[in-house]
């Protein structure tokens, strides 16, 4: 673990990790320290990495086994556990606040993004601390949220293959507040467009409440904005954050990220 440095990026969220070459095997102590840092800081940046797909897949196992993504037409042909974020062939920027793949019974613990082609300006990724968002809510609303559950499924079916709809669009119920399995803290947890409804509410009322929550909860004090550089690896803790892409870049320029999602636990509230 010699040389490992973890430097906070904001007071609320994010840390830069240096002294680690993810293209090489990472020893057990370093892996444990990095995994623990993710639970604490919720977003980790590893700058100046140079990775083959095989090296990237191996590095991602620090955070859990890679799990298959449901937009299979955007998965790397020879490495289907790597998704391509490239905003082409019908793919649109995920520019609303969300946490990934809530349509799974065991959603990902982490989303790992690797900057391969980066535009000259714009195109960043923002990450919000939903642990801090929950703590800032009034006590009565915290109590209410802890009684609510969302029913989840696929959202953007126009950009989803029929076989992926069959495999991944079964109704999945999650608590709207979940306990972090390693940190022990509580965080607001939902994907606004994958939520079919909140149990006991109509779809329309559910969407109205979730949109209002997002508007009230997410403010600059709890957000880390990552401006991409080629070779960056950004790891996002999906158990206690939301994130969004920014489409504010010149579309004549390429923006290509490789994405791996690491297997997580079934969300629970303890």
Strand 5-8, strand 256-262: pairing:
unpaired
Residue 166: band (very low, low, confident or very high) from pLDDT cuts 50, 70, 90? confident
Diameter of the chain measured on Cα atoms: 54
Q: What is the CATH number of the domain that holds 219?
A: 3.60.130.10
Let me know if residue 270 belongs to a domain.
no
pLDDT in tens, 102-116: 999 999 999 999 999
pLDDT of 2 reads: 63
pLDDT in tens, 18-69: 999 999 999 999 999 999 999 999 999 999 999 999 999 999 999 999 999 9
Residue 186: band (very low, low, confident or very high) from pLDDT cuts 50, 70, 90? very high
Q: What is the pTM of this model?
A: 0.96
Let me know if residue 269 belongs to a domain.
no
Let me know if residue 203 belongs to a domain.
yes
Let me know if residue 110 belongs to a domain.
yes
Let me know if residue 63 belongs to a domain.
yes
pLDDT of 156 reads: 73
* CA 5/CA 104 separation, integer angstroms: 34
Per cent of the chain over pLDDT 70 is 99
Residue 91 has pLDDT above 80, yes or no: no
Q: Compute φ and ψ for 106, nearest 5 degrees.
A: -120, 85
Per cent of the chain over pLDDT 90 is 87
- Please give the tally of structural domains in the chain: 1
pLDDT of 162 reads: 87
Residue range of the domain that includes 232: 5-262
Residue 118: band (very low, low, confident or very high) from pLDDT cuts 50, 70, 90? very high
Residue 269 carries which DSSP code? -
Question: Is the Cβ–Cβ distance between 42 and 14 less than 8 Å?
Answer: yes
Let me know if residue 172 belongs to a domain.
yes
Let me know if residue 232 belongs to a domain.
yes
pLDDT in tens, 146-162: 999 999 999 877 778 88
pLDDT of 168 reads: 85
pLDDT in tens, 222-239: 999 999 999 999 999 999
């Amino acid at each position: 673990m010699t040389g490992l440095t973890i430097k906070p990026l904001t007071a609320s969220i994010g840390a830069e990790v240096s002294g680690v070459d993810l293209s090489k095997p990472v020893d057990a102590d370093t892996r444990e320290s990095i995994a623990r840092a993710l639970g604490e800081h919720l977003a980790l940046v590893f700058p100046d990495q140079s990775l083959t797909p095989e090296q990237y897949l191996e590095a991602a196992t620090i955070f859990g086994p890679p799990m298959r993504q449901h937009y299979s037409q955007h998965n790397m042909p020879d490495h289907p556990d790597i998704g391509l974020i490239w905003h082409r062939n019908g793919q649109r920027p995920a520019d609303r606040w969300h946490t990934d793949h809530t349509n799974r019974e065991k959603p990902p613990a982490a989303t790992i993004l690797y900057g391969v082609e980066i535009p000259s300006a714009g195109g960043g990724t923002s990450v919000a601390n939903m642990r801090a968002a929950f703590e800032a809510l009034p006590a009565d609303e915290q109590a209410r949220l802890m009684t609510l559950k969302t029913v989840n499924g696929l959202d953007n079916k126009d950009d989803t293959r029929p076989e992926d709809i069959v495999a991944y669009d079964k109704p999945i119920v999650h608590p709207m507040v979940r306990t972090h399995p390693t940190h022990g803290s509580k965080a607001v947890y939902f994907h606004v467009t994958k939520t079919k409804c909140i149990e006991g509410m109509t779809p329309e009322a559910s969407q109205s409440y979730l949109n209002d929550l997002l508007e009230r909860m997410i403010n600059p004090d709890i957000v880390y904005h990552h401006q991409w550089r080629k070779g960056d690896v950004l790891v996002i803790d999906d158990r206690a954050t939301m994130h969004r892409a920014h489409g504010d870049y010149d579309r004549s320029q390429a923006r290509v990220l490789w994405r791996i999602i690491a297997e997580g636990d079934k969300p629970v509230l303890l």
